[in-house]
Chains A and B, each alone.
Chain A
Amino acid sequence: MDSLFLMSALLMLVVAFFVGDWIERRHYKSIRARETRWAGLPVVTLRTLPPLPGWTHDRSGLVSGHVVISVDYFKRFLAGLRGIFGGRVRSYESLMDRARREAVLRLKEQALHEGYQAVVNVRLETTTLARSSKNNKKTAGVEILAFGTGIRMAKAAA
């Protein structure tokens, strides 16, 4: 019985490893493509734009982008082992990196949709979504929210 359990767990780990790896690669490709495409839209953490001669403020508004990402079985297993020995949880690092960049990209997407030319005062917030099972709370995923002020400038009347 022990070996049956171990075999199925091992199978799950192997499948999760390959599938998770493929999903991650695909996501990164999409992320890089969109970052390249929208590199021209400034997204900054400054609270306001510096004064621009010849331009006045047209309109501004809240823009945000958020994403929820979950861990695959293999990553969770690795993190569990890390919990015994300590150290960098590398399996989660790529997850958080992707989530953060995806949230910022979605923020840019909304800003472009609204016609803004820049987004200032950008902040990032992280929420862990927990799923309570009978004994403990397991992580159902991570939500990253990126929000800021979108700004559109217009040429000043001469």
Chain B
Amino acid sequence: MSQYRWIGKSLPRVDAKGKVAGTVKYVTDLTYPDMLWGAVLRSKYPHALIKKIDVRKAKEKPGVVDVLTHEDIPGLNAYGIINQDQPVLCHDKVRFLGDAVAYVLAEDKRTAYEALDLIKVEYEPLPVVSDMEEAIKNTVKVHDDGNVLEHVVITKGDAAKAFESCDLIVEETYYTPRQMHTFLETEGGVATIDQDGIITVFSSSQYPNRDIIQIARSLNYPEEKIHVVAHTIGGGFGGKDEITTQILLALGTLKTKRPVKMVWDREESVIAGQKRLPIKITLKTGVTKDGKLVANQARVVADTGPYNCLGSAVMKLALEHACGPYYVPNTYLEGYCVYTNNTLGSAFRGFGATQATFAIERQMDLISKKLGIDPLELRIKNSLQNNQSAGLGHMPAPSVGIKDTLDQLKKHDLWVNKEKHLQTKSPHLKRAIGIACSHQGCGLGSFFPDYGSADIQLLPDGSFSLKVGCPDIGQGNATAFVQIAAEALYTHPDNIKVEVGDTRTTPDSGSTSASRSIYTGGNAIVIAARKIRALLIAEASRALQTAPDLLEFELDRISTRDKEKSVTYQEIARRAAERNKVIQYTSTFDWPRSDLEFNDALGLPHYVFSYISEMALVEVNTLTGECQVLKAVVSPDAGRIINRQGLEGQAEGGTVMSMGYALMEDVILEEGEYLTKDLSTYIIPSALDIPEIDTLPVEALEDTGPFGAKGIGEAVCNPMAPAVVNAICSALDIHITKLPATPEMIYNLVHHKTS
């Protein structure tokens, strides 16, 4: 019997009805009278100098209202969350095929795109920087200051010395691919301007408040006169965290004084949108003969493409997570983030931990094989525990649930009766079970401002309005906010009217990213609710002529202890209104931090972590190299579960996304040119590819979290890929160091036994 009314329940999502009925509007569905369409001319070369841009013919085309270039940027012609190194419209140089060179505003969509062909740009092509190790050498520079955006070294203990005492050292280099978010709703939006000069940008954005800063800076326009609205978003996964269309939309409406709409079609989204950073990780891992981890050395090289976006942060998290959720007393962690002319690298669910997880989990299986130790037991033996330091020497919050998640796998029928599950119908089909663990730092880590805010107000009918800045990008955090508020306010979820992601009305609660929105928004709600309860009690005390400490909350009312008298929330609202008072409060919340900080690696380490283990049953066809994942058992530790169905949805979605990463997904470029431009060449899993998924969560409650909750949005995207690859390697007795493990790769490894 749960102690909570709403926390942990599978409450249906508050926004589901409009979505199944097709009535809710996404930004890409909005239209306005007198609206213009924007279209961007992108670079012809992956790396080139711009000699001349001639837009005259395009401007003369009937239906074209204006064509903008770098000359039309009123403020800073650059943006970027960390470094402002990406031009809004390129001036003298292009650094990847997605670079924006000119911007057409026309009466309709077809005219806008046809006008692009009339723009003449003269380029002087430059050699293309496509290899990350070559980039480090700086033979050809993408940016004048050189290609190494950031270089970090962090150590703990003495790894060099510790290796000398290891019984076994395993050293290997791993390569992870360029994964694409492939949200079903591509990047896009609409911007309007009113007669007071207030610009409103409706955008599919993960952080509207920060967008305002970047828009204001480039438009040289007051922040107070800009609003960004992200009500309903068709998927983000990190690809809508950095600016996509917002600055150009705002610029267009500012210039023309008309509403402007722009939607990237899928090919444009592939070319210009952000991607997961491909990372090369060399790991040297030392253990005792009993399999106890002693030392881990990592060299990470991350390809952030032409501009930083969030690439340097991704590289740092790869270092932070390079030891897995295990106790390793000695580490030497070195990372490079490099510029190239490849794809724009930025945030993608897992944010460096995904890439690092693949590498360390392959290492664990190599160790398991060489020492003859069961792979599950090896991981249990090395599991991080409360009050042990992690890879950077930092102490995670004492809600470390990794061992409990492994125990869930150990108890599951798939593991207990594995011999039965490994039987196949034919000798050319081989099965195996693969295991992997992961963890994920929640929040923005040390140093960076990381805060939340929630506004709660009692409405005249006794219901509450709830406003939190974090947009709902599809995962259902708005529903979780409702449940947390309903619990804390002693009311029914139907009595909470929630609003998110609108800078006109919702308080800045930080981004929806970094597995932080339920923790941050939830904490802000709990704090606001505490204040609201005090205000309700005060009003009730007046109404019932009873001291506050003799009153208690019931559903939608406050009554005396003896239940003789009570007053409803609606009555309280009426009474307060009589005195011209409104019961309302806007709270603030600041993240707790690690006591460790690295001056040369800002943002590390994190304090609150989520943990996860996963087990995959895989069947490989040795004649074709094809791989079918039959079953997945996933045990996530997100602390207190707020919405059970929501948690399962994350576990299932993340499992399948990670499976795609393992088996089929890669944006392939050759010398900066895209070979995979659409969804028939960049393959994501379909309904026919999915395994049966069992989700068995554990709750290692986090003291600092709302009702003990942490975050889980990213961790779920990490372990399935190495679990699947570990299974394939186990089934075929091969060694895979590169993703995706396509049928061609597997076939060649089987038939040529080379790695």
A-B complex is real: no
